[in-house]
Amino acid sequence: MELIGEGRLRPWLGPAIRGALAWAVKEAVCRWPPLERDDRYKTCRGCQYLGDCAYGSTFEAEGTLSEGAPSGMADGQRAITIRPPFPVPEYGRPGDRMTLCATFLGERAAAAADVINRVLLESDRGFELGRDRVGFRLSAYLTEKDAPGALQCIEPEHLPASPEDCRGYVPAVRLDLITPLFLKEEPVEGGKARAVLKPTLGQLVRGCLRTVGRAFAAFGKGLDGRVDFAGLKKCAEAVPTQAAFWQPFRQRHHSTRQRQRYDLVGVTGGAVFGRVPLCLLPWLVWGGRLGIGEHRVTGAGCWEVTLLA
């Protein structure tokens, strides 16, 4: 991602970049006339072309589900996650370069990746960010040939189904957020869900189980009946926090589609957790890759995991 204009930038560009790229793809591949596309099929709901559309099978939830996927478990799941760098400079200038990462989930999305890349990498296509309309373009991308291992397959048996499946412990695990995390507490009856500002391992693992479980429900084989979700949650809740370096994060957000303005409230930073059961590690790794919590489709809630002796 290379800037071709200059102006003020927000620290986290996730929503702005996803919006710009999603619109470009829809405009290029949608088969409906512009008036119908922007009105009747604004969210692609009910579109007869959804199943084989590069936009519908990635950016919209309804077109991404595998046949027979339980709608409740897969609600809100998208087949594409776009993760920009974080944080970015307060002021961008022409020539500034940043790495942009896109993750495609499921066979339909993987098949649409080449079409999406061709649309976004057109030499004369430019995009804009923020009130200053800072221009940028995408100049290159990595394929499986360029970056072996970019295409990965995960099966249900790769994930421990219960604490008994993988005995033993790691002395300590460090988790470092690479994008802001927007996690909400379970609301008490009659109250509103509040932002989690000091996540415990139990809260993080619950988010991982939810995200990875929904991904399997939407794009592959469901995990219900195979995984002891309650047992894994209980196991994670018993792990203490040895050190925490969370920092509160707040940024104003404007949703064009929903016509809403509100503050995004979350955290950055990370923590060290002691004596972590081995059965939780694959869930933590995949949760960190896919992102947990709110706004994960724009790259939120991603982290790196380091094992400490």
Q: What Cα–Cα distance (Å) separates residue 8 from each residue in 129, 194, 268, 276?
A: 9, 30, 21, 42
Per-residue pLDDT of the chain (309 residues; tens, 9 = 90+): 999 999 999 999 999 999 899 999 999 999 999 999 888 888 888 898 887 899 988 988 765 554 544 444 444 578 888 898 899 999 999 999 998 888 899 888 888 988 998 888 886 778 998 889 999 998 876 655 666 667 888 888 889 999 988 889 999 999 999 999 999 887 766 677 888 999 999 999 999 999 999 998 888 777 878 899 999 999 999 999 999 999 999 998 776 655 677 789 999 999 999 999 999 999 999 999 999 999 988 999 999 999 997
Domains of the chain: 2-137 (no CATH), 156-308 (3.30.70.1900)
Q: What is the pTM of this model?
A: 0.87
Report whether 9 contacts 129 (CB < 8 A). yes
**CB-based burial label for 220 (10 Å; 0-12, 13-18, 19+):** middle
